[in-house]
Structure 1
Amino acid sequence: MQEASFYGFIKTLFYIIAFYYIFKFLARLFLPVIVKKVVEKAGENFQRQQQYAQGNSWQKTSNNDEIIIDTANAKKSRETKKVGDYVDYEEID
């Protein structure tokens, strides 16, 4: 059976603290670069999707030379529902 020693505890604690500070230092160096790359990649994907969507809409309209304007809905006037009268009031102290 092994017994834990004070020296082993101090050594383990030192390794944990050293690993923490090394990781923190490396994160400060490389994390901004990694985040920048991820943002650029997301921007490129977004632009590619927008160009693809615009390209499809242009292709659909370029094949059809005829323009149809639906005026059936434009001639109907929209009525608003009248629920009740508007009452202006003042607060009394």
Structure 2
Amino acid sequence: MQEASFSGLLKTIMWVIAFYYIFKFLAKIFLPVLVKKAVEKAGENFQRQQTYSQNNTWQKTQVNNDEIIINTANAKNPRETKKVGDYVDYEEID
């Protein structure tokens, strides 16, 4: 069985402090680069989605004899609301 020593405690504290400062130093160097790459990738994804959306919209637009007909996949058909019962207007009696 090993006993804890004061010098072992000091070594552990020094290692923790050293790792903290090394991590902090490396984060200052590499974190801006990683964030920049993430922002660029998000911008590229956004641009790709915009291009796809615009191309998709233009493909759905048909021109016939000076008429423009737009067929959208997200067109909502009007639906009938279900009738549950009759509406009764109540008046409060004093």
Is TM > 0.5 for Structure 1 vs Structure 2?
yes
Unaligned regions of 5+ residues in structure 1, if any?
69-93
Unaligned regions of 5+ residues in structure 2, if any?
70-94
**Counterpart for residue 35 of structure 1:** 35
More strand by share: 2
State the alpha-carbon separation in 2 of the partners of residues 64 and 6 from structure 1: 85
Identity %: 73
More helix by share: 1
Matched, 1:19 2:43: no
SS, match of residue 68 in structure 2: coil
Aligned residues: 67
Matched, 1:46 2:46: yes
Root-mean-square deviation (Å) = 1.2
TM-score (norm: length of structure 1): 0.68
Q: Could you give the per-residue CA deviations for residues 31-51 of structure 1, whole angstroms, max 9, x where no partner exists?
A: 000000000000000000000
Matched, 1:59 2:71: no
